[in-house]
Structure formats: C-alpha cells, structure tokens
C-alpha cells in the first residue's frame, strides 16, 4: 500500500513504513496549548502544607503552555472547558457541561504536560514555555474563564494553584473521566 504523507510517498510493507520518513515525522513538533481535564467529586491543591485552592464537584484542569501559545489559545481552551459535556443528564449520558450543572473548576499550571521521552528515560521539557512567558498566559487564561463565568452568571467557581510552586494536587476522579484538550 502506498500513501502520501507530508508530500512524501510512503510504502507500507507488513505495517511498517520507510525508516527515513519515520525520522522526519518524529522531528515534527505540533506545539499546542494543552489541558488535561478530569471530572472530580472533589479536589484541592496544597503548597507547603497549606491548601491554596479547593473545589467540590467539578473539573480539575491541568494547563500546559508552550512557546507559540497566545491569548487566542487561552480563550479557545477556556471556552471548551466551560462547554465540555462530561456530566450526566437525566438518562445518565454525558450531555451536560459544568456551566449547566454548576460546581468548581480547579486550574493548575503544569509544564510537565510537555514531557517528551523520545530519547532516554529522563523527560525533556523543552517544548514547555518558560515561567516568564507562561505566567502571563496562565493568568490571562484564569481571567478569561472568570470573566465568562461572571458575564454569563454561570454557577461555577474557579480556584487555582500557585504558578511555579511545588504543589500537591489531591482529587477524587469521578467516573473516571479524563479528557486531553489541545489547541
């Protein structure tokens, strides 16, 4: 079977494609903002033994920011999180959003979402934005989410961890339901 990938003709033999193209594909990086969302019964985050953010029923969103992210990506991810239909309706189907059911959203910055293990066993975080670039975007992300909740009078509260701090995130995953968003 022959396919065209990235403008290259690739021949598959027994499910394996040309090694030369595999090297090309593995060096292409699709840097996108990431959010790992978990539906929870409850969650809280601690820094140096003190609770800094807590929610009951709702969502925990671990937010990863890369070098190419802008406020547009923040806006898109925030809208998706608020609209994500992962809560059950009357029939038990995941058909309702946090905006529909109310609850809390715990936002935690997490550069390790960009951990890459292409070589060796120690993760590389080179694709994660540094603190000076990521902090204003994370703050903008939190602000965008809070503004939308306030403007639409949505029954949702927002809590956060502490940017750049060593945190312990405690949560009771409900379902479990875990969704990865990328933009």
Q: Could you tell me the residue ranges of all domains in the chain?
A: 1-30, 31-182
Calpha distance 56→105 (Å, rounded): 9
- Catalytic residue, from 66, 110, 138, 160: name it: 110
Q: What integer pLDDT is reported at residue 31 of this predicted model? A: 76
Q: Token pair 């995941």 is at which residue?
A: 94
Question: For the chain, what percent of residues have pLDDT higher than 70?
Answer: 84
- Catalytic residue, from 38, 66, 87, 111: name it: 111
- Catalytic residue, from 48, 51, 112, 178: name it: 112
> What are the angstrom distances between the C-alpha of 85 and each of 32, 78, 89, 91, 110?
22, 14, 10, 14, 23
Is 23 designated active site? Answer: no
CATH 3.40.50.300 for domain 31-182, yes or no, is: no
With a cut of 50, say whether residue 112 has pLDDT above it.
yes
Is 168 designated active site? Answer: no
Q: What integer pLDDT is reported at residue 52 of this predicted model? A: 98
- Quote the mean pLDDT of the chain: 88
Question: Residue 77: how many CB atoms within 10 A of its CB?
Answer: 26
pTM, two decimal places: 0.83
């Amino acid at each position: 079977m022959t396919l065209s990938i990235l403008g290259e003709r690739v021949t598959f033999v027994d499910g394996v494609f040309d090694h030369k193209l595999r090297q090309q594909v593995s060096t292409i990086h699709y840097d996108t903002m990431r959010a790992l969302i978990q539906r929870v019964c409850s969650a809280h985050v601690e820094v140096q033994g003190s609770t800094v953010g807590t929610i009951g029923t709702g969502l925990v969103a671990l937010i990863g920011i890369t070098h190419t992210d802008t406020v547009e990506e923040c806006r898109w991810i925030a809208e998706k999180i608020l609209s994500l239909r992962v809560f059950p309706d009357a029939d038990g189907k995941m058909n309702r959003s946090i905006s529909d059911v109310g609850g809390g959203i715990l936002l935690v910055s997490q550069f390790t979402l960009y951990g890459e293990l292409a070589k060796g066993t120690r993760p590389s975080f080179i694709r994660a934005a540094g603190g000076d670039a990521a902090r204003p975007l994370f703050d903008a992300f939190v602000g965008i989410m809070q503004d939308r909740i306030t403007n639409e009078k949505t029954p949702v509260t927002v809590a956060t961890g502490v940017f750049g701090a060593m945190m312990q995130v405690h949560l009771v995953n409900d379902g479990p339901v875990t969704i990865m968003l990328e933009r």
